[in-house]
Amino acid sequence: MEPKEEAKNKGKKVEENLTEEEQKKVEEKKAKAIAKKEAKAAEKAKAKEERKHKVEAGEQVDDPNAKRKEKEAEKAAKRAARSATDYVKDPNDPSAALFGEMELNRSQMPESIRFEKKYTKIQDLKEENVGQ
């Protein structure tokens, strides 16, 4: 059996193992779901037909996407309000210069002196090193 057919028959096999009452409940649920879909489709068709008649009569028609547009406008307003309450840099902040990108720290010492210095580990220090 192909996987698609197995998927289709899977629900049927489960229904075969049900009692008559359970099968009736399943069938009722399916019938309700189908009726609900059909009713919704009928409402959409009716609304579409009414809009069509209004357009033909020259009346003003409600935008079918008005709710979606209202939600988008609300979201945009929330974003604007949120961005207005975001952190604003205080001009009197003494540590303001420490934020953001900083200059590259460059050595102020001449190269000749820099490489002449010798560093000694603490464990290697002896009395001979005093004064160096």
In order along its 132 residues, the chain shows pLDDT tens digits of 455 555 555 555 555 677 888 888 999 999 999 999 999 999 999 988 888 887 788 777 667 677 888 889 999 988 888 776 666 777 888 887 777 777 777 778 788 887 777 788 888 888 888 887
Number of domains composing the chain: 1
106 in a domain, yes or no? no
Whole-model pTM: value is 0.34
Burial 64-93 (b: 16+ CB within 10 A, else e): eeeeeeeeeeeeeeeeeeeeeeeeeeeeee
22 in a domain, yes or no? yes
Range of the domain at 19: 13-80
58 in a domain, yes or no? yes
53 in a domain, yes or no? yes
43 in a domain, yes or no? yes
Cβ pair 94, 101 in contact under 8 A: no
